[in-house]
Each structure stands twice: as C-alpha cells, then as structure tokens.
C-alpha cells in the first residue's frame, strides 16, 4: 500500500446550539437529525472532537492520529516540536440565528494556571450578514473592573459594549481577553487557536433547549477580561482578485484571503507548516502531491507540510481562506510578516480561455492543470516591464501594486498609523 502523504478532506462535525439556524444546510451539508446547526467544525484537533479524515488510505483516522504517525512531514518540523500531536488551529462555520452569549476567552497564561491546555484567540470572516446584524467587539469606553461589576450586577452590561455592524467580506480579529459576541443574522467562518474554553458573562436570561438557564462564569471571567476600549474592531484590507491578501497573523495562525477567478500556483518551499484551504464562496479545487480535491463553501483541504507546490482552481469564481501556523510568529513575536513575499502566488497559463473556468466542471480541472508549465521567470501577466500593476514585480518601487509601503501603510488605505486596524500595533 502506498503510504505517501496526500491532501486531506475531513468529515464535518455538527453542533446543535440554542442560537443556531439552518443556513449551513443551504451550503450542501446534511446534519439530520439535529433540528439546527449552530456550528460546523470543518477541522478540529480538540480532544474528543477530532476531525476524521474522509479520503485516502488514512480514511477513518483522526487528524491527531495522522500527526502522531507523520509528525513534521504533516504539520511542519518546528510546528511539531512546538505543538506536538495537537493540531494548533480549529476552523468552524457558524450560523448565528440568534444572539450568542456575551463572552470572553482567557489567554494562554491564565488558561494554564487554571489547568487548561490553551487560551483562545480567534478571527471571524463574514460570509453573510442580514440587514441590521450586529456583533459585540469589546467595550465602547475604558472602564475599571469595579465599574464593570456594578453594571453586570445591575443587568446593564450591554450599555458598556462596542457594537459593529458587519457586512459580507468583513474580518474581525478577536484576541484573548476581548469581550465579544455574535448577533443574530450572521453566517461566518471562524479560525481560532485550538481551545474550547469560553467564559459566558451574560446570556440575556435565555433558557437552553431543556428550559434551564445556561451556566455563567462571571467570577472566572473577571481575571480574563481586557477592559481597554475597542475603537475600530474591523480589520481593513485591500481586496484584490487572484492575489493573496493577509487578513490576520498571530502566534497561533496566519490567515490569507484568495479571491479566485483563474488558476493560481503557490510555492510553499519556504514555509515550515501545513496549509489549510477553506472555501468561503463558490466551488474550488486544490491540487498537490499528484492529487486534486474539489471543495465547496464550508469544506476544507489540509495540504501537508511536505508539499512545496499547490495549484488552485475554481468554477467561475471562488474565495478561499488560506490558513497555516507560521513558526516565525512564535519564535520572533516582534517581527511583522505583513509584506513577506517568499511564497507569493504565481499565475498559471498564458491567458488562454481555459484560464477562466466559468464553463468548466470540476471534472475538467485535473486535465487543465496538467497542461500548465512554468516558463522562466514570467509571472503570467504578459507585461514585460515592472510597471504592470500586478503583484509579482517587486524589483521596482513604482510598480503600483500596493506592497511598497514606505510610510508604514498596511494596505488598509489609511495614511496614518492610528487608523484603528490590527496592523498598526505599537
């Protein structure tokens, strides 16, 4: 039997929630007999909730069992040394048909003091937002623990909260310690540190499915809360088709957005990590290690760390989140990797009509992929000079691609360093 590593798909884990809805069913998932699905766990290494591999000779094994066998070949040598057999990320699709509890997650230090493995830092990428949908993202103004406790005891904690009104395509980074909550009418992807630790501080006096009020953790939460205000919780980024755009980076995960309308080739030879592609819109396919796997919205593929090259395809158009654990983030926390271009995407093809796959099915993709070959240093954009305005030519400073930020510009279109996005951290 061939035991060579290959890209992996996973069986989804469905979670019935008191606030859950049925939008996940519209993505093509069947969670019967559950009455709703508040959370779909697309990839998880959480103990007791490990994702089961759905394809290949490792089928029916969990992701953690695969890591135990293949170690650094699967997740990256440094990642394996650092995280062991635990997959460091958890990826979910969340359907909030009602308000979630107002909550906070501890950081690593506090979690481990209390006997837990990890704290919890996370990010949200909004897939759908109904008109008027809101999220809670920290406090509106700075306050003291005593002021917070007084408002909580009086049932007035909602008066303290900073409210955002998200739209599809928005991204919010939620560090450990920030009070937060999803509002009604949101469908989103969540990428987070591997942890299932949540402290509920307020739940609107709402009963669960058994008619009981859900447990609150007001005392435990107090030491976890960051009481600083949130001025602009939304992360600002420049949207570019067929480009890789950084959404978030932290010691636990790095997440990029790739809006695809044509095939793309990526080089990960400089990255010591697995890579996960989560489809957040449309239908796409991931080809690597002589295997091609289709995915639709809500599905993901894990590319093993031994894969140096990945090719991405789409039917018409698609959007992918590209997620990995960059060892540079936890070996040198002071370094920003916002403009690293070591594994920048290269276009595939020579502007043939086949580059645009609107009329093609997934079954055609493998044949098309096999026809493309790299030709010298050409990026596929058909401009001979460095002024082509694409994202490949970085020898000159005037290429117009938006990557040369001499004044510290992060790509969020704010000239100053106080724009409120998560890139300008002192």
Q: What is the set of active-site residues?
A: 200
Which of 15, 214, 193, 199 lies closest to 96, judged by CA?
15
Secondary structure of the chain in HEC code, one letter for each residue: CCCCCCCECEECEEECCCCEECHHHHHCCCCCCCCCECEEEEECCCCCCCCEECCCCCCCCEHHHHHHHHCHHHHCHHHHHHHCCCCCEEEEEEEECCCCCEEECCCHHHHHHCCCCCCCCEEEEEEEECCCCCEEEEECCCCCHHHHHHHHHCCCHHHHEEEECCCCCCEEEECCCCCEEECCCEEEEEEEECCCCCEEEECCCCECCCCCECCCCHHHHHCCCCCCECCCCEECCCCCCCCCEEEEECCCCEEEEEEECCCEEEECCCCCCCEEEEEEEEEEEEEECCEEEEEECCCEEEECCCCCEEEEEEEEEEEEEEEECCHHHHHCCCCCCCCCCCCCCEECCCCCHHHCCCCCCHHHHHHHHHHCCCCCCCCCCCCCCCCCCCCCCCCCCCCCCCCCCCCCCCCCCCCCCCCCCCCCCC
Q: Is 197 exposed, middle or buried (0-12, 13-18, 19+ CB in 10 A)?
A: buried
């Amino acid at each position: 039997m061939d035991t060579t590593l290959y890209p992996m798909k996973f069986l989804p884990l469905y979670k019935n929630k008191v606030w859950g809805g049925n939008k996940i069913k519209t993505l093509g998932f069947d969670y019967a007999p559950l009455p709703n699905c508040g959370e779909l766990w697309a990839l998880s290494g959480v103990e007791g909730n490990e994702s089961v591999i759905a394809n290949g000779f490792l089928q029916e094994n969990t992701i953690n069992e695969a890591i135990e066998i293949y170690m650094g070949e699967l997740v990256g040598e440094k990642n394996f040394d650092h995280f062991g057999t635990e997959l460091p990320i958890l990826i979910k699709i969340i359907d909030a048909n009602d308000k979630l509890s107002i909550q906070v997650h501890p950081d690593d230090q506090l979690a481990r003091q209390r006997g837990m493995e990890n704290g919890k830092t996370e990010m949200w990428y909004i897939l759908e937002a109904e008109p008027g949908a809101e999220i809670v993202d920290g406090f509106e103004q700075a306050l003291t623990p005593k002021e917070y406790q007084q408002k909580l005891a009086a049932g007035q904690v909602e008066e303290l909260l900073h409210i955002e009104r998200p739209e599809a395509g928005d991204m919010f980074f939620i560090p450990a310690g920030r009070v937060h909550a999803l509002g009604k009418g949101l469908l989103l992807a969540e990428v987070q540190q591997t942890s299932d630790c949540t402290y509920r501080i307020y739940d609107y006096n709402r009963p669960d499915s058994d008619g009981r009020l859900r447990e609150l953790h007001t005392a435990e939460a107090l030491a976890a809360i960051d009481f600083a205000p949130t001025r602009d919780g939304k992360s600002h980024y420049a949207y570019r088709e067929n480009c890789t755009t950084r959404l978030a980076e932290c010691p636990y995960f790095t997440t990029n957005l790739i809006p695809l309308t044509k095939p793309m080739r990526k080089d990960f030879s400089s990255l010591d990590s697995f890579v996960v592609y989560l489809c957040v819109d449309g239908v796409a396919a991931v080809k690597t290690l002589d295997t091609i796997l289709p995915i639709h919205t809500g599905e993901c593929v894990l590319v093993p760390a031994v894969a140096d090259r990945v090719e991405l395809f789409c039917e018409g158009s698609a959007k992918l989140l590209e997620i990995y654990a960059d060892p540079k983030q936890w070996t040198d926390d002071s370094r920003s990797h916002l403009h690293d271009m070591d594994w920048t995407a290269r276009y595939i093809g020579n502007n043939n009509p086949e580059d645009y796959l609107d009329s093609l099915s997934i079954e055609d993709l493998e044949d098309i992929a096999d026809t493309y070959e790299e030709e010298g240093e050409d990026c596929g954009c058909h401009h001979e000079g460095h002024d082509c305005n694409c994202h490949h030519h970085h020898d000159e400073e005037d290429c117009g691609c938006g990557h040369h930020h001499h004044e510290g510009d992060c790509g969020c279109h704010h000239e100053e360093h106080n724009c409120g996005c998560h890139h300008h951290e002192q």
